[in-house]
């Protein structure tokens, strides 16, 4: 029986493959930020396709660039650095290479969007939104379960403590910057 209590004619996990995965408490801070990243990717895609109003997104390119820049300023750099620093030691070479490569490409695409003329900025934002969504889904569906399966609980607690410290400090810095 599926978790919502409805009967299914087929196995419910094949019908609903996008059901949220159970995430360890230690990695939930990253998953929470991933939720925000997926929202930004969704809003960028809708806005770039001309349907921003249906996603609560800006309708024009300057507004979409502003949305992407706010995400970059608030989360992107701190988040990617924390993942690489704190999870990197628990990843195999292929996972670490992909993690760092996709993080670098996200940052490169943001720079291209900010520096480009409207056609180039649109193309870079589109590529950024697509990669951001794919990257987050890979981390949530493959990378994090792999880490959770091979890392000792005590080590995961240390990761969580450092994650919380970094993310709280980042939020405090963001608030201080807004007040200035």
* pLDDT tens by residue, 87-141: 999 999 999 999 999 999 999 999 999 999 999 999 999 999 999 999 999 999 9
11 inside domain = no
47 is a domain residue = yes
- Please check whether residue 57 lies inside any domain of the structure: yes
Assigned domain for 10 exists: no
pLDDT of residue 16 exceeding 80, the answer is no
In a domain, 4, yes or no: no
| Residue 142 CA from chain centroid, whole number | 14
Tell me whether residue 152 is in a domain: yes
66 has pLDDT over 70: yes
Q: Do the domain assignments include residue 141?
A: yes
Q: Out of 4-18, 33-47, 128-142, which region has the weakest mean confidence (pLDDT)?
A: 4-18
User: Model pTM?
Assistant: 0.83
Tell me the CA distances in angstroms from 167 to 13, 40, 122, 160, 170, one per residue in order: 33, 19, 30, 10, 5
pLDDT > 90: percent of the chain: 68
Q: Would you state the pLDDT for residue 1?
A: 37
The answer to whether residue 9 sits within a structural domain is no
Domain range for 117: 26-179
Domain count, the chain: 1
């Amino acid at each position: 029986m599926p978790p919502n209590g409805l009967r299914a004619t087929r196995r419910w996990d094949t019908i609903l493959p996008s059901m949220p995965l159970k995430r360890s408490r230690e990695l939930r801070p990253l998953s929470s930020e991933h939720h925000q990243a997926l929202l930004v990717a969704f809003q960028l895609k809708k806005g770039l396709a001309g349907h921003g109003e249906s996603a609560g997104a800006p309708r024009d390119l300057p507004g979409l660039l502003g949305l992407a820049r706010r995400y970059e300023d608030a989360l992107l750099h701190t988040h990617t650095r924390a993942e690489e620093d704190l999870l990197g030691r628990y990843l195999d070479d292929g996972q670490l290479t992909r993690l760092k490569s996709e993080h670098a490409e996200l940052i490169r695409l943001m720079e291209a969007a900010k520096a480009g003329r409207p056609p180039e900025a649109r193309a870079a934002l589109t590529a950024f939104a697509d990669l951001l969504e794919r990257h987050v889904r890979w981390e949530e569906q493959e990378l994090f379960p792999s880490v959770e399966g091979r890392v000792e609980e005590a080590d995961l607690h240390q990761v969580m403590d450092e994650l919380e410290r970094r993310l709280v400090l980042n939020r405090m810095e963001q608030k201080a910057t807004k007040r200035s």
